[in-house]
Amino acid sequence: MNNSPFFSIIIPCYNRANFIKKTLESVLIQDFNNFEIIIVDDGSFDNTKEIIDSFGDSKLRYYWKENEERGEARNFGIRKAKGKYIVFLDSDDIMLSNHLKILYNNIINNQKYIFFATKYNIVNEKNIIIDSPLKKYESGGYDYRVVLKGNPFACNFCVKNSKEKFQLFESDRRYSIMEDWMFLVENLINNEIFIIDQVTIHMINHDNRSMTENNQKVIIARENALSKLLKNDNLSINNKKILIGYSAYFCAIHSYLDNNRTQSIRYILKQLKSNGLNINSLILLIKSLIGYEVIKKLK
């Protein structure tokens, strides 16, 4: 392992020709340069390969495979990784030039952890920067409770390449879109993730992101993921109530966005039963009673 890179950056992609060039450029200009890039093309039929080949960089390792969804693409990359630490990156996101250097410094200074994450900002279509859910967290170690309500990390985390110490991603299509959240819940039950209080990633928000897909598809995936996580005997009854309540709230939001008032209200009532009343669920209940399309017209 002496000649191995310190980082293996795994980038799954599927028909991302319009985005992947900027993503790769952001990785190749890193201040810390001891890394490899593993691109797992999950069955693209656009010109993704031609764009990657145009870089002609020895750090790039490109693999094309039949489409099996993003979780299995990440697992494929993990199996190919030669680095001491694995960094996950989506094919439409941007690394700031200090991302790997900051990760490296914090890994060296906090070696009891195997999971690490810097913070990220969300950049919308108007190029407006929005804080991510990670903003409120101070530097330090966090266990599974940080992801019970949802996934504030997205896929922006790093893990030590010791495969016997962590579970792989779910690859069943029933959990598509939820694989990152499930991976973190399942792995942080026995580990902690060290959050670094520095923004080093820009998540580019656009209409083709997986979480802006068909709302009913997102709801079904969340329900499937919840059912599997609730079978984990390491989670307490209270932990499971949190999972149920916040999953219901998540599904209520997507029902509301789908203008499905009845479904949204049903999920809000389920959330209230598990976690009680809070200001966010009350606001969503009022909005659901009015309806998404009506509120959109009022704006």
Q: b vs e for 98-132, b when ≥16 Cβ sit within 10 Å of the residue's Cβ?
A: bbbebbbebbeeeeebbbbbbbbbbbeeeeeeeeb
What CATH number should be reported for the domain holding residue 268? 1.25.40
Structure tokens at 156: 């922006």
**230/251 same-domain check:** yes
- Residue 117 domain flag: yes
State the pLDDT at residue 102: 99
297: burial class by Cβ within 10 Å (0-12, 13-18, 19+)? exposed
DSSP assignment, residue 138? Answer: P
How does pLDDT run across 214-247, given as a tens digit for each residue?
A: 999 999 999 999 999 999 999 999 999 999 999 9
- Whether residue 95 is found in the same domain as residue 197: yes
53 shares a domain with 35: yes
3-state secondary structure of 268: helix
- Kindly state whether residues 129 and 249 are assigned to the same domain: no
294 plus 178 within the same structural domain: no
Q: Which amino acid is at 271?
A: Q
Using alpha carbons, select from 247, 293, 249 the residue that is nearest to residue 269: 249
In a domain, 104, yes or no: yes
**Alpha-carbon torsion 281, 283, 287, 289, what sign?**
positive
Indicate if 123 and 218 belong to the same structural domain. Answer: no
- Low-confidence residues in the chain, pLDDT < 70: 1-2, 208-213
Question: Do residue 50 and residue 33 come from a single domain?
Answer: yes
| In a shared domain, residues 128 and 228 | no
Query: Looking at the structure, do residues 82 and 131 belong to the same domain, yes or no?
Result: yes
Rg of the Cα trace of the chain? 20
Q: Which residue has the tokens 């890179």?
A: 5
**Tokens matching residue 204:** 């580019």
Among 151, 178, 210, which residue terminates a domain? 210
Tell whether 159 and 184 lie within a shared domain.
Answer: yes
Q: Are 65 and 76 in contact (CB under 8 A)?
A: yes
Residue 70: give the domain boundaries.
7-210
Which of 175, 210, 245 is the last residue before a domain boundary? 210
Residue 229 lies in a domain: yes
Q: What CATH number does residue 17 fall under?
A: 3.90.550.10
- 117 and 243 inside one domain: no
The answer as to whether 151 is a domain residue is: yes
With respect to residue 148, please indicate whether it lies within any of the assigned structural domains: yes
Query: What's the pLDDT score for residue 298?
Result: 84
Q: Which residues contact 109 (CB under 8 A, 6 or more apart)?
A: none
Together in a domain, 174 and 275: no
- Give the pLDDT of residue 1: 44
5 touches 36 (CB < 8 A): yes
Domain boundary among 181, 210, 239: 210
- Structural domain tally of the chain? 2
Tell me the two tokens of residue 40: 């797992």
Q: Per the domain annotation, does 1 fall within a domain?
A: no
Residue 129: what pLDDT? 93
- Alpha-helical segments (H) within the chain: 20-28, 48-53, 70-80, 99-109, 179-188, 215-229, 237-257, 261-275, 279-290, 292-298
